[in-house]
Structure 1
Amino acid sequence: MSPAMALNEQRSKDDTAEEKSGYEKGVKHLCEKGHIRSVPKKYILPVADRPTKRVEDSNALNQNLQLPIIDFAELLGPNRPQVLQSLANACQQYGFFQLVNHCISDDVIRSMIDVSGRFFDLPLEERVKYMTTDMGAPVRCGTSFSQTKDKVLCWRDFLKFLCHPLPDFLPHWPVSPVDFRKVVGTYAEETRHLFLAVMEAILESLGIMEKEEEENVMKEFEKGSQMMVANFYPPCPEPELTLGMPPHSDYGFLTLLLQDEVEGLQVQYQDKWVTVQPIPNAFVVNVGDHLEIYSNGKYKSVLHRVMVNEVKSRVSVASLHSLPFNCTVKPSPKLVDDEANPKRYMDTDFATFLAYVSSHEPNKKDFLESRKLH
């Protein structure tokens, strides 16, 4: 039997075993069942969508990108005007930046990564308590984006949970590991305060200086939505065939991403995929679809994806922030001019977004494209 035939036969066996267990139980469950020598068919991307495995391409791309670094401490000091300009440039040119010296302690950050990893290390019977296809659930453990609708599944498991107001959602959170609620509650509160400070700076960088409008918007953000997503990417036997997450943009205003030391996040920059080098204890911050709408297209949400590898698992935690779910998001009147800069996006809300993603397979920036005024 040729190597190719043997691999296909093994792939078919893996798929049969996987179908019996159910895709909904996640990638980690597949890995726990035994050594997987090949990627099951359900996870294999079309050839055009697969990541490159060529080392020379990867290195060339890595050298092409240095994400802007924003020093939060400088933002609060006398150099604020210069940092605001750097922030504006980052949001316009990259849609991403790395945030350092942000005042969230190393202990809080390490504990968040640690407890997230320990959640995914729990036995399946513990994780399955939170598995649901209900996108409106306050806590949802799952895999891929939608294992019931996606044609190709992601090499990822996730735990999504709502965070604000904390007293409303904390009782729904997992009770295992035993320190989960304490560690994550602290982290959620601290990242929310950090988001508010960064968002205030972004409003200023957009030129929205009128105190009344800025205060009104910030009051809405103080009541706003916060969703946390802990991601687990197991080692993959054929990382050139699949992705941890396909190209997508983020819903919301800003995402604060915490990642461990394992590379995986890639950003599309000048039509190339470039790897974001992890900086210890830094946040990778990116513009979401709502901020692109609010800025009337001045700041762009950018496609990003997640690579997997054969050797190491990877853990990341995304904190997604926006206005309250019942609020309407629309371009700021200060950034709209009927002649020079007409309104470029329709007003939108969370219900519209939820209806869209419930009936469409996630694909790049399709939702945002559906909001554009042509």
Structure 2
Amino acid sequence: MQLLNHGIPYEITSNVVDVSKRFFELPFSEREKYMSADMGSPVRYGTSYNQTNDDVFCWRDFLKLVCHPLPDALPHWPSSPLDFRKLAVSYAKEVKFLFLMLVDAILESLGLMNKKNKTEENDEDEDEDKNKEEDEDEEILKEFEDGSQLMVLNCYPPCPQPDLTLGMPPHSDYGFLTLLLQDEVKGLQIQHKENWVTVKPIPGSFVVNVGDHLEIFSNGTFKSVLHRVLVNQMNYRISVASLHCLPFKSIVQPCPKLVSETNPRHYMDTNFASFIEYLKSRDSTKENFLHSRKLTS
């Protein structure tokens, strides 16, 4: 879906697109300082999913920034352009708050949040049960508040033969939700009923994609979104993806409250280490990560 009227000032979203473009316009000698084979690095510049194993690279440059915990990660972020850290931090904080608002709505839609109703009169036993459930709700939200946030700045340069390559191949996002900000240049496509549909950019809006974690956590109620990126001959395209998930050390599993005899568990447990191992061995012939987590009936 595309999210409008989200409350983040247009100045903040336009500034992060602008500073991202200026970063990718830096000389390669400046950008290559942030190249790393370590997928857990707090900052990583590169071109493809796995630059060691991939036979064909994506037609893009990217800069990945770990955003949580911010005080530890920030010193590793690029210091050029001079306003890069300031603008990127402002954006990261706003998007994290927006993510938590969306999580609250998602948990409520799954029946996992118990909203307080002050007009109801309950006996002591009901109040005790309700307080216990509210405490559990707070624990769930706290885990998301402490969760990881990865910001990915993408640059898709003009391509002389766009029909022969992709900016990014079909994939789903590891994590709970991805909030994607894109400039005015088309390129993002979502798979819908076996067809690829181009997402028309709306200035200042966010494309909200369900990630693998949310499909696993909801035991299949929400479906992870398969998407890809096309390139063009004429224009640079800039996008900023903010990927949110539970803390890196957390075990992601179907929520026990959503598993029953009529809706058995559909996915095995997973964690960030499993995903990293998958990325290291990934090639174009392998199933995607989510499929590797599905249980067979």
Amino acid at match of 2:212: D
Give the percent of matched residue pairs that are identical in Structure 1 and Structure 2: 64
Q: Offset of 1:147 from its aligned partner?
A: 2.0
1:238 corresponds to: 161
1:47 corresponds to: none
Q: 1:219 aligns with which of 142, 150, 157?
A: 142
State the distance in 1 between where 2:81 and 2:286 align: 34
2:47 corresponds to: 143
Q: 1:352 aligns with which of 245, 270, 274?
A: 274
Q: Deviations over 1:83-133 (max 9, x none)?
A: xxxxxxxxxxxxxx1111111101000100000000000011100100111
- 1:371 has 2:293 as partner: yes
Matched-pair contact (CA < 8 Å) for 2:50–2:282: no
Q: Offset of 1:363 from its aligned partner?
A: 6.4
State the distance in 1 between where 2:210 and 2:68 align: 20
State the distance in 1 between where 2:31 and 2:155 align: 13
Matched-pair contact (CA < 8 Å) for 1:112–1:187: yes
Q: How many residues align?
A: 277
State the distance in 2 between where 1:308 and 1:225 align: 29
Q: Offset of 1:264 from its aligned partner?
A: 0.2
SS state at 1:274 partner: strand
TM-score in terms of structure 1 length: 0.73
Amino acid at match of 2:62: F
- 1:331 has 2:254 as partner: yes
SS state at 1:110 partner: helix
Q: Offset of 1:366 from its aligned partner?
A: 1.7
1:187 corresponds to: 91
Q: 1:320 aligns with which of 236, 243, 251?
A: 243
TM-score in terms of structure 2 length: 0.91
- 1:98 has 2:20 as partner: no
SS state at 2:18 partner: helix
SS state at 2:16 partner: helix
**Which aligned runs of 4 or more in structure 1 are off by greater than 6 angstroms?**
none
Amino acid at match of 2:15: S
Matched-pair contact (CA < 8 Å) for 2:58–2:167: yes
SS state at 2:140 partner: helix
SS state at 1:352 partner: helix
Of 148-157 and 227-236, more deviation after overlay is shown by 148-157
Return closer, same or farther for 1:302/1:357 CA change in 2, 3 Å cut-off.
same
Matched-pair contact (CA < 8 Å) for 1:249–1:302: yes
Matches within 5 A, 1:250-261: 250-261=173-184
Unaligned runs of 5+ in 2: 115-133
Task: Give the structure with the larger helix fraction.
Answer: 1
State the distance in 2 between where 1:185 and 1:147 align: 28
Matches within 5 A, 1:43-58: none
State the distance in 2 between where 1:364 and 1:179 align: 41
2:131 corresponds to: none
